[in-house]
Structure 1
Amino acid sequence: MSTPYPFTAVVGQTDLRLALLLNAVSPAVGGVLVRGEKGTAKSTAVRALSALLPQVAVVPGCRFSCAPDAPDPACPDGPHEPGPGTQRPARMVELPVGATEDRLIGALDIERALADGVKAFEPGLLADAHRGILYVDEVNLLHDHLVDVLLDAAAMGSCHIEREGVSVRHAARFMLVGTMNPEEGELRPQLLDRFGLTVEVAASRDPQQRVEVVRRRLAFEDDPAGFAGRWAGEEAEVRARVIAARALLPQVRLGDTALLQIAAACAGFEVDGMRADIVMARTATALAAWAGRTAVRKEDVRQAALLALPHRRRRNPFDAPGLDEARLDEILDGFPDDEPEPDPQPDPEPDPGPGDDGPDGGGPDGGGPDGGGVPPQGGGPEAAPEEPADPSEGPEAPEAPQAPDAPAAPSPASAPAAEQAPVRAAEPFRTRMFSVPGLGEGAAGRRSRARTAHGRTTGAQRPAGRLTKLHLAATLQAAAPHQRARGRSGRGLVVRKDDLRQAVREGREGNLVLFVVDASGSMAARQRMGAVKGAVLSLLLDAYQRRDKVGLVTFRGAAAELALPPTSSVDAAAVRLEQLPTGGRTPLAAGLLKAREVLRVERLRDPSRRPLLVVVTDGRATSAGALGGDAREVAARSARLLAADGVASVVVDCESGPVRLGLAGVLAADLGGPAVTLDGLRADALAGLVKDVRTSVATASPHTNRRAA
C-alpha cells in the first residue's frame, strides 16, 4: 500500500483543512464540497484525512461495520449480540465517476443464485463507507442515477436495495466529501445542498508559498516513507486533538444568542429550507470543541456561516458562489456579545482560535490568512478559471474598426455599424425543450432519447459482447425449456452461455448544444441585443439542467470565432456571452462553417454525443468574407452542408419590427430545422411543447418527421 501524503504537510489551504477537520470532529456536520481550479491539493488533502480519524470498533466478521455496542437490528449479516468488538482504521472509500449502480449499492450474487439457487447479496461501496468517508473526485461529473442513490442514502442514513428479487436494507452513514473543478460544470442543486460545508480553493499567488509546495512535493516523491516520518509528530498531535474535540463535543453549549445569530444569518441571506440553520449550528458547535471551549461564540457563528451558506444562497447556476462578509458582520453585530462561558475545559494548546492553523503546528507553510476569515469565499477563485478567455472577445477587443471600410450594404437594415460595448442580458426565462430526433447512445443526461445503461427497461437481447446488465427474467425464460434435456437435478438451474440475455434500457442522454450567435451590426441595437442575450442565457440554463455540453461560436465583421470550445461548464458560456461585443457586417456563412468544423472535431473526440445546433440570428447575410461570392447564396450552401451532415438544428429568429423579411425562416429551411421567434421560445407561450427537432438528412430516416407530444 502506497504511503499517503501527510495531512499536516499540506501548504496553506487553511479553510479546506479546517472544514475537513470539523467533519472529523463532528460527522453530523454533513461533509465537505471542495471547489477550485486544478492542481490545488484538493484530492491530496481529502485522501490524507483518513489517517487522522480515530479507529472504529466493529462487530467481527460483519461486512456492514456494525458497532458492537449498538448493532443494527436490520443488518443483513445479523442479528448481532452486543459485546466486545475489534478495532480497525476508519475507511476512506472512493467512488469512481464511472461506477455502476450495482457497485455503489450492491447487487444479487448472480453466480450463486444460478448455481446454488440461493439469494446472496454482495455489498457495495455504501456498505464499505459506513462510519467512514465516501470520497467522490470530480463529483460534478457523476451520473444522475448515482446522484439519486447518494441523495437517498444521505437523507435516510441507510441504503435500500429492492431489485432482482432481493430486498436488503443496511445502515449507510458516512462523511460525504466531494471535489470538483467548476470549469467542468456544476452540481445538481439537490446534491449541492447535501454537502454540509463548501470551500473555495485556489493556488497561492505568493512565490514563497509556491516554492514551499514544490519543495515538499518533490521531497515526498523522492522518499514517501521518510517524508511521512518527518511529519509523524504533527500528525499524531492533530489526531489527538480530533479525539479530544470529539470527547468535548457533547459538553459544548449552544446558547440562545448563538441560535438567534444563526437564524438571522440564514434569513438575511435568504437560504432555502432549514438545513442551513442545522448545519450552521453543528458547525459552530464543532468549531468551539475544536478550539477547546464549551460555549459557542460569535466568531464560531461567523466562521460557520462562511463555510455553510455560500452554496445554499445561489439562485441560478450563473450566480457566483460566495458570501458578502460585510453583510454578514452587519447581521451578527445586531446581537449583543455572548455571555461568558462557564468553566472552560483545560486545553493543552493555548489560543487555538477557530481560524487557527492548528493542524500545521506552526510549520513553514505560511498557512494563509489567519483569524478565521475565508478570503476565497468572496468569489475570487471563480474568476480565475475564466481569465484565459479568448483575447479577441473581451469588452476591450482591439479589432473594432472594420465597419468604416466595409462596402455598401445591400439594404439599409443591414448597414454596418461600429462596435458597441457589451450589453447586459435580459432576465432568463423557461424555454421550450428541443431534442435531437431518433435514439442515441450518448452520455446520460436529460434531453434526447437514448439507449443507456440505466433507465426504463424496454426489452432484452442477446449480448453482442461482454454481458454488462443481466435481464434475469429473460435469462430464466430462455433456460427453463431445456432443464430436462440438460439433466437438471436439485435446486440449481442449469444455465448456458447462450441463455444469457442483456437488458435493453432506454433513458435520456445529454447532447452537445452548439450556439452560433450573430454579433453583427444588424443585431447591435442595445435593447434588441439584451433580449437576444437573455434568450441565449435561458437556453444555457436549460442546457445546464439537462446535463449538456455547450459551445459558443460568434460571427461579425468578416469572420467567425470559437468563443468557447465545447465544455460542461455552462457558467463559462454565460460569462463569454456577457462579454460579447457587437458591430460590423454579418458573415453568416463563416459562422455556419465554423460550427461545422467544431462539430466535425467533436464528433472525432466523442462519437456518441449527438449535437444540437442553435443558430441565433435575424437571418441577414451581408458578407461572404474570404469565401467570396454572393453572401446569401454562400450562407445557404453552408446551411445545406450542415443539414447533409445530419446535424439537428433550430434557428432562433431575432428579427423585430413591423416589417420583417423572414430570412431566418429561409435559413431554417436550409438547415432542415424549425425557426422560433424570441417570443415563441418561451415555454409558457406554447399550446404544446415541440420535443423533436426536425432535420433534413441526406439519407432520410424513418424518425425524421416524427413529432413527440
Structure 2
Amino acid sequence: MPLQYPLSAIVPSQADDRDDMTLALVLTTISPEVGGVLVRGEKGTAKSTTVRALASVLPPIEVVAGDRFSSRPGETSPDGDWPLDAETETRPVRLVELPVGATEDRVLGSLHLSKVLADGVAEYEPGLLARAHRGLLYVDEVNLLHDHLVDLLLDAAAMGRSTVERDGVSVDHAARFVLVGTMNPEEGELRPQLLDRFGLTVEIAAPRDPRLRAEVVRRRLAFDADPETFVEAYADAERTLTDRIAAARKLLPEVELTDAVLTKVAEVCAAFEVDGMRADIVTTRTAVAHAAWNGRTTVTRADIRHAALLALPHRRRRNPFDAPGLDEELLDAVLGDEEPEPEPPLPPEPEDEGDGDSEGPGFETGAERPPQPTDGSAERPTRPANEDQGFETGAEGPPQPTSVVAAADPYKVRRFEVTGTGAGESGKRSRALTSNGRRAGIDPTGQGGLHLVETIRAAAPHQLARGRTQGRLRFEHSDLRTARREGREANLVLFCVDASGSMAARKRMEQVKTAILSLLLDAYQRRDKVGLVTFRGDGADVALPPTHSVDIAARRLAELPAGGRTPLAEGLLTAAEVLRVEAVRDPRRRPLLIVITDGRATHGADAVARSRQAGQWIAEHRTTAVVVDCEQGPMRMGLAGSLARAMQATHLPIADVSASALTTLANAA
C-alpha cells in the first residue's frame, strides 16, 4: 500500500498557522455528532491530500473479529448478536472513498449475486456505508454527485443507521461515520438544503506568500523523491497528533456546558439570522470539541468563536449567489470581551432562593444585540447615459461614459426550453430521454434499463421454433427490450448581453441585470451550465466561459460596465463560436442562446447587415434562441424583433421574462 503524505507535513495556508481545514476535520473526528465537513476550495489546494492524511493519525479502533460491519462487543449487527466477551481485533480507521459515478446499490449494498447464482442463497452484500462505519466516508467533488445519493449519504450520517429494503433483502445496520466532502465552487454549488446538512464548512485557498508556496513545493518534491524517509521524519509529529486526538475524545464527556455558554451560542446564531436550530446544536458541539482539543473542561470565548466560524458561514441568510462567509467584526461584537464564568456551586439549602447571576459577565440573556452591518453593496455614483442621443441605427455617435449599475432582487422567470427531445445529463429544463422519468415507450436497441415484460413478450412467439417444449424460456439477443424513459435534461444557457451606451441608462441596465440574475437563478435550480458573452465599444468578450458555477456568472454580471458603441454582429459571432467549441467538448448538452439587446447596431460599416447575417448563421445551425427586447418608450424601432426573425428565435419583451407576466396576460385574456 503506498505511503500517505503526513498530515503534520501539510503547510498551513496562512502564515499565522491558522489551518481551518485541519481543525474542522479534527474536531468532527473528536465529536462525530458535529456532522462532518464540507471543504470548498480552488483546485490544487491539497483538499484530497489532507483528508487522506487524516485517517493515518486517528487512533485505531477495536472491532469484533470477523464481523463485516465493524461492530463493538455487545452490539448487534446483521452478522450476529455479539456478547461483551466476543473475540476482538484492532485495526486502523478506514477511509472509504465514494466515486462520483457510484450506483445506489454500491452505496447501500444489495443482493450478493455470486452467492445467489452459485449457491441459491439470498445474502446481503454490504455497501460503502457499512464499510465506512466508525470511519471516514470521503466524497471528492461532492457537488457533482447525484442529488439522491447525496440525500442518502446525509440521512445516514444524521441517523447513524442504514436500512436496505430491496431485492428480497431486509437489512438494518449501524452506519456512524464522519462524512467529508470536497468541492471546487467553480464547478457548481450544492443545493442550500444539502449544504446545511454538513456540520462544518471551510473555505480554503492556496497561500499567497511566496515563502509558504516555496515550502509547499519543497516538501512535496522531498516526499515524491523518498516517501519512506519523508514519512519517518514526521513520525513523531504524527504520533503526537494521534495521542492528542485520543486524549480529546477521552476528555470530551467531562467538558462542562454552562447555561451562559448556551445562551451566548444562541445570541450568536440569532445575530446572523440562521434558519432553524441545527446551527445552535452544531455550534455548541463544535465549541465543546474545541475545548477538549485544547485540553480544557470549560468552554471559552475562543471556543465559541472558532465554532461559529466553522458552523455558521453556510447557514446564515444570504441573497442568491452570495458566497458563504461570516462578518468577524459582528461575531466579535456579539461575543464581547468577557470570558464565561463557571457555574457557581449549588446553594447548601434547597429553600435558599438567592437571585445571584449565574451566567457571568458578558453573557446576559437580555443584552442588546449589536447593529447589523450593511452588505457594502452601495452603487458607485454614476451619471446616467442619455439613451436617446447619438444612437441611431448605423450612427457612430460620440464616446459614451461607462457606468456600473446593480441589479434589483431576482424574480421567478418563465421557463425556456430547447426545442425537440435531447439525451443529455439529467436536469430540469428541456425534454430528453433519460435513465429516470416516466416510461414513454420501448427501445429495441437495448440502450436503457431492461423491460422484463416486453422482453418476454418478444421471445414468446418464437419458443416452438427454438425447440422449447417445456421448462425455461429460450431467449436470444434480439428479444431484448428496454424501457425508453422521458424526463428532463440540463442545458447550456449562454447569455449574449448588450452592454453598449444605448443600454447604459440606469433604469434600463438595472432592469436588464435583474432579468439576467433571475434567469441565472432559474438556471441554477435546473442544473444548467451557463456562460456569459458581452459586447460594447468595438468588440465582444467572453466574460465567463461555460461553467457549472452560476454564482461566478452572477458576480461577473454585477461587475459588468455599460457604455460605448454597439458591436451587435461581433457579439453574435462570439456567442456562435462559444457554442461551436462547447458542441465539440460536450456534444450531448444542447444549447439555449439568450440574446439581451435593444437590437441597435452602431459599430463599423454595414453594422445592421452584418448583424442580420450573424443572426442567420445562428438560425442555420438550428440553435434554439430567445431575443429579449430591451427597447422601451413610445418611439420604438422594432430592431430586436427583426433580429429575432433573422435568428428564427423567440422574441420577448423584457417585461415578459417574469413568470408573473404570463399570469397577467392570461387574466387579461
The percent of aligned pairs where both chains have the same amino acid is 60
How far does residue 125 in structure 1 lie from its aligned partner after superposition? 1.8
Question: Residues 333-383 of structure 1: CA distance to partner in whole angstroms, max 9, x if unpaired?
Answer: 1876323799xxxxxxxxxxxxxxxxxxxxxxxxxxxxxxxxxxx9xxxxx
Worse overlay, 291-300 or 665-674: 665-674
1: distance between equivalents of 2:170 and 2:444? 27
Question: 1:233 maps to which residue?
Answer: 236
Indicate the larger mover: 421-430 or 471-480: 471-480
> 1:64–1:128: 8 Å Cα contact kept in structure 2?
yes
Aligned letter for 1:523? M
What residue is the counterpart of 1:527 in the other structure? 507
Deviations 1:660-691 (A, max 9, x none): 2332223223322322222211122323999x
Greater displacement, 293-302 / 104-113: 104-113
Partner of 1:331: 334
1:667 to 639, 643, 666: 643
Does structure 1 residue 89 correspond to structure 2 residue 92? Answer: yes
Matched residue type, 1:428? P
Given that 2:393 and 2:608 are in contact with CA atoms closer than 8 Å, whether structure 1 keeps it comes out as no
| Distance change in 2, residues 1:326/1:679 (3 Å) | same
Query: C-alpha separation between the residues in 1 aligned to 2:71 and 2:478?
Result: 41
Partner of residue 275, structure 2: 272
Question: Which one of 280, 296, 301 corresponds to residue 298 of structure 1?
Answer: 301
Q: Indicate the SS of the match to 2:62.
A: strand
Indicate if the aligned counterparts of 1:252 and 1:294 stay in contact, CA closer than 8 A. Answer: yes
Tell me by how many angstroms 1:131 deviates. Answer: 1.8
Alignment partner, residue 57 of structure 1: 62
SS state at 1:571 partner:
helix
Deviations 1:621-653 (A, max 9, x none): 233x3xx43x33322222122122121111212
Residue equivalent to 2:9: 9
CA distance in 2, matches of 1:161, 1:474: 28
CA drift at 1:514: 0.3
Query: What are the within-5 Å matches in structure 2 for residues 39-438 of structure 1?
Result: 39-72=44-77, 75=78, 77-78=79-80, 80=82, 83-109=86-112, 119-333=122-336, 337-339=340-342, 409-410=391-392, 417-438=399-420
Does the 8 A contact of 2:74 with 2:81 survive in 1? Answer: no
What is the CA-CA distance between 1:314 and the residue it aligns to? 4.3
Task: Map 1:599-610; keep pairs closer than 5 Å.
Answer: 599-610=579-590
Match of 1:557 in 2: 537
Tell me if the contact between 1:108 and 1:120 (Cα under 8 Å) persists in the aligned partners: yes
TM-superposed CA distance for 1:606, in Å, is 0.6
The answer (yes or no) to whether the contact 1:469–1:503 under 8 Å persists in 2 is yes
For residues 448 and 108 of structure 1, do their structure 2 counterparts lie closer, same or farther at Cα, with a shift above 3 Å needed? Answer: farther
**Stretches of structure 1 lacking an aligned partner (at least 5 in a row):** 343-377, 379-394, 396-402, 691-709
For residue 101 of structure 1, report the CA deviation from its aligned partner: 2.6
**Aligned AA for 2:401?**
E
Question: CA separation of 1:233/1:280 partners in 2, compared to 1, >3 Å: closer, same or farther?
Answer: same
User: C-alpha distance in 1, partners of 2:475/2:434?
Assistant: 26
User: Could you tell me which amino acid in structure 1 is paired with residue 657 of structure 2?
Assistant: L
Q: Give the drift of 1:503.
A: 4.5
Partner of 1:706: none
SS at match of 1:667: helix
Q: Secondary structure at the match of 1:684?
A: helix
Structure 1 CA distance for aligned equivalents of residues 642 and 518 of structure 2: 24
Rate the CA distance shift 1:257–1:669 in 2: closer, same or farther, 3 A: same
Cα distance in 2, alignment partners of residues 113 and 478 from structure 1:
27
SS in 2 for 1:102: helix
The CA RMSD over aligned residues, in Å, is 3.1
Distance (Å, rounded) in 1 between the aligned partners of 2:291 and 2:181 = 25
TM-superposed CA distance for 1:620, in Å, is 1.8
Is 1:570 paired with 2:554? no
One-letter code aligned to 1:654: C
In the alignment, which residue of structure 1 is the partner of 2:562?
582
- Answer whether contact 2:100 2:144 (CA < 8 A) is retained: yes
Q: Distance in 1 between matches of 2:135 and 2:283?
A: 22
Shift of the 159–462 alpha-carbon distance from structure 1 to 2, 3 Å rule, reads: farther
- More off after superposition, 122-131 vs 640-649: 122-131
Is the alpha carbon distance of 1:235 and 1:501 closer, same or farther for their aligned partners in structure 2, counting shifts above 3 Å?
farther
Question: Residues 75 and 82 of structure 2 are in contact (CA less than 8 Å); yes or no, is this contact kept in structure 1?
Answer: no
Distance 1:57 1:319, change over 3 A: same
Out of 22, 28, 34, the residue aligned to residue 29 of structure 1 is 34
* Secondary structure, aligned partner of 1:441: coil
Q: Distance in 1 between matches of 2:453 and 2:568?
A: 55
Offset at residue 264 of structure 1 (A): 0.6
Answer yes or no: is the 8 Å Cα contact 2:301–2:340 preserved in 1.
Answer: yes
Tell me if the contact between 1:416 and 1:583 (Cα under 8 Å) persists in the aligned partners.
Answer: no
Distance 1:233 1:443, change over 3 A: same
Number of equivalenced pairs: 618
Give the 5 Å matches for 1:458-473.
458=440, 460-462=442-444, 464=446, 469-471=449-451
Alpha-carbon distance in structure 2 between the residues aligned to 1:439 and 1:570: 24
Secondary structure at the counterpart of residue 299 of structure 2: coil
The DSSP-based 3-state class of the residue aligned with 2:435 is: strand
Contact kept in structure 1, 2:391 and 2:502, CA below 8 Å: no
Assess if the C-alpha contact under 8 Å between 1:143 and 1:444 holds in 2.
no
- Determine the structure 1 residue equivalent to 2:596: 616
- Cα distance in structure 2, aligned partners of 1:486 and 1:232: 70
- Are 1:594 and 2:570 an aligned pair? no
| Distance (whole Å) between structure 1 residues aligned to residue 449 and residue 83 of structure 2 | 38
TM-aligned CA deviation for residue 124 of structure 1: 2.3
Find the aligned partners of 1:215 and 1:519 in 2 and give their Cα distance: 47
Shift of 1:488: 7.6
> Whole-Å Cα distance in 1 between the matches of residues 130 and 22 of structure 2?
26
Deviation at residue 451 of structure 1 after TM alignment:
2.4
Counterparts of 2:636 and 2:28, CA distance in 1: 62
CA distance in structure 2 between the partners assigned to 1:689 and 1:27 by the alignment:
54
Q: Which residue is equivalent to 2:351?
A: none
* 1:687–1:641 distance in 2 versus 1, CA, 3 Å: same
Give the distance between the partners of 2:459 and 2:59, measured in 1 at CA: 51
Secondary structure of the corresponding residue to residue 176 of structure 1: strand
Equivalent residues in 2 for 1:636-675, closer than 5 Å: 636-675=612-651
Provide the C-alpha distance between the structure 2 equivalents of 1:460 and 1:109, rounded to a whole number of angstroms. 29
Letter in 1 for 2:32: P
TM-score (norm 1): 0.81
CA contact (8 A) 2:394 2:602 kept: no
Letter in 1 for 2:566: T
How far apart in 2 are the matches of 1:248 and 1:220?
35
Distance change >3 Å, CA 78–CA 136, structure 1 → 2: same
Following the alignment from structure 1 to structure 2, what is the Cα–Cα distance between the partners of residues 339 and 229? 43
Change (3 A) 1:78 1:30: same
1:419-452 CA distances to partner (integer Å, 9 max, x unpaired)? 3121111221121121212222222222222223
1:618-633 equivalence runs, <5 A: 618-623=598-603, 625=604, 628-629=605-606, 631-633=607-609
Q: Which runs of 5 or more structure 2 residues have no equivalent in the other structure?
A: 14-18, 346-372, 374-379, 381-385
Letter aligned with residue 589 of structure 2: R
Show CA shifts across 1:455-503 (max 9, x none).
Answer: 44555545557xx8444555566678859956887xx987765555545
Partner AA of 1:645 in structure 2: H
CA distance, structure 2, for counterparts of residue 589 and residue 295 of structure 1: 68
State the alpha-carbon separation in 1 of the partners of residues 427 and 615 from structure 2. Answer: 28
Aligned-partner Cα distance in 1 for 2:255–2:532: 53
Deviations 1:44-66 (A, max 9, x none): 11011111222233333333333
Alignment counterpart, residue 687 of structure 1, candidates 657, 663, 667: 663
Distance of aligned partners of 1:452 and 1:78 in 2 relative to their CA distance in 1, 3 Å threshold: farther
